[in-house]
Amino acid sequence: MYLKSASWLLLDKMVRIFGGLFIGIWIARYLGPSDFGILNYALAYVAFFQVFVGLGLNQIVVREIPKKLVII
């Protein structure tokens, strides 16, 4: 049972890695060096600020959900 579950998780991880690699290569060849560089710059910019956006969000969500729940 555990071996079957672990094999599915491993297969999922491998498909995601090789799929992402294939898509990345395909996009790089399609866009060319200049446009692909602009795309990577934009993605890096978004990823940089995404870290700061998510810093305190979990605490706020955990605090606000119990306030909205109605106990019967």
Mean pLDDT split into 10-residue runs, the chain, 72 residues = 88 96 96 95 92 78 78 62
pLDDT reported for residue 49: 87
pTM of whole model > 0.85? no
Q: How many domains does the chain have?
A: 1
Q: According to the model, what pLDDT value does residue 69 have? A: 77
Token pair for residue 64? 């606000």
CB 19 within 8 A of CB 27: no
Q: Which domain holds residue 35?
A: 2-68
- Sort residue 32 into left (φ over 0), alpha (ψ -120 to 50) or beta: left
